[in-house]
């Protein structure tokens, strides 16, 4: 058609043409088909392992077995005075796993090796007077250097000084030597033992053991050995409750004292 005929066409004819084209496209489509719906793509999800909820720190930590304190034990039962069986049990428990039966028998002490034990009613002077009624005679007859007639072992230098003060009524004019490490060099003690005569030695097992090992202190003249067994420090520990003191006491007993006790020359007392 020419452009003139197009200009002369009725607008109604154009609408008819548009409707005809729409009908054709509708006929081409599936009559049962629904309008296409865009599917939402699922977002990838992260995978997490199920973990238990965090518990409070107090419950998560493994519960440690609560150790019994000495104070807890003493609250339930009054302290009992030490007896010879206590010392024997201490030696057996310490050496039991590492010694043969024959070796353990050599560490056994008969009742005759022990002095009467303190029943917790004595002062130190009254206890010494009871176990050693002939002290005045022993003191006068002792003339040997590098030795003492009585050896007292306790847990600390401070306790040693307390015991020295508390034995005033017993010792009389005899000479007492301090045998602990605090403020006193071992060479000073060795010189004093070599030059003078002392009747009583009071100190800690560690220093006494060191003097014995260096031949500065000879135990052949010793008649009495007293362990400050029942006294307790501020933490309510006895001397055998303190690991270091316990070990040094057992070492001294094993190396020197037990043999002398079995031979009958030394008597053991538990104060």
Range of 15-29, 50-64, 133-147 with top mean pLDDT: 133-147
Report percent pLDDT > 70 for the chain. 71
Give the Cβ contact number of residue 81 at 10 Å: 15
Tokens encoding 171: 């010792």
**All residues at 6 or more sequence positions from 51 whose CB lies less than 8 Å from its CB, including other chains:** none
40 is a domain residue: no
Is residue 76, in this structure, part of any structural domain at all?
A: no
Instruction: Report the range of poorest mean pLDDT among 56-65, 202-211, 228-237.
Output: 56-65
- The total of structural domains in the chain comes to 1
pLDDT tens-digit readout, 157-177: 999 999 999 999 998 889 999
Mean pLDDT of the chain: 82
pLDDT higher than 60, residue 1: no
The pair phi, psi for residue 211, each rounded to 5°, is -70, -40
**CB-based contacts of 245: which residues, under 8 Å, 6+ apart?**
155, 204, 205, 206, 239
In a domain, 232, yes or no: yes
Two tokens, residue 188: 């000073």
Residue 63 falls inside a structural domain: no
The domain spanning residue 160 has which CATH number?
3.40.50.300
Residue 131 lies in a domain: yes
Contact 226, 152 (CB under 8 A): yes
Instruction: Check if the beta carbon of residue 90 is closer than 8 Å to that of residue 247.
Output: no
pTM of the model: 0.72
Q: Is residue 189 part of a domain?
A: yes
* Alpha-carbon 17 to chain mean position: 106
Identify the pLDDT of residue 196: 92
Let me know if residue 182 belongs to a domain.
yes
Enclosing domain of residue 102: 85-270
Is 65 inside any structural domain? no
Say which range, 57-66, 81-90, 211-220, has the weakest mean pLDDT.
57-66
Cα 219 to chain centroid distance, Å, stands at 33
Judged against a pLDDT cut of 70, whether residue 204 lies above it is answered with yes
CA pseudo-torsion sign 257, 263, 269, 270: positive
């Amino acid at each position: 058609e020419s452009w003139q005929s197009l200009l002369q066409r009725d607008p109604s004819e154009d609408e008819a043409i548009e409707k005809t084209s729409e009908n054709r496209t509708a006929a081409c489509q599936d009559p049962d088909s629904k309008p296409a719906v865009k599917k939402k793509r699922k977002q990838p999800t992260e995978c997490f392992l199920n973990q238990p909820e965090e518990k409070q720190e107090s419950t998560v930590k493994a519960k440690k077995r609560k150790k019994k304190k000495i104070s807890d034990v003493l609250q339930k039962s009054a302290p009992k005075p030490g007896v010879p069986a206590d010392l024997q049990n201490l030696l057996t428990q310490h050496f039991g796993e590492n010694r043969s039966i024959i070796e353990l028998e050599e560490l056994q002490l008969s009742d005759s090796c022990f002095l009467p034990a303190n029943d917790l009613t004595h002062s130190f002077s009254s206890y010494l007077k009871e176990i050693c009624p002939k002290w005045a005679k022993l003191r006068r007859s002792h003339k040997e250097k590098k030795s003492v007639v009585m050896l007292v072992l306790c847990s600390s230098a401070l306790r040693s000084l307390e015991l020295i003060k508390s034995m005033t009524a017993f010792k009389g004019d005899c000479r007492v030597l301090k045998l602990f490490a605090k403020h006193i060099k071992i060479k000073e003690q060795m010189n004093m033992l070599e030059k003078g005569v002392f009747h009583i030695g009071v100190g800690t097992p560690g220093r006494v053991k060191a003097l014995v090992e260096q031949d500065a202190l000879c135990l052949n003249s010793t008649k009495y050995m007293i362990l400050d067994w029942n006294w307790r420090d501020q933490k309510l520990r006895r001397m055998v409750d303190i690991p270091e003191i316990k070990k040094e006491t057992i070492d001294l007993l094993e190396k020197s004292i037990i043999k002398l006790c079995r031979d009958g020359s030394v008597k053991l007392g538990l104060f």
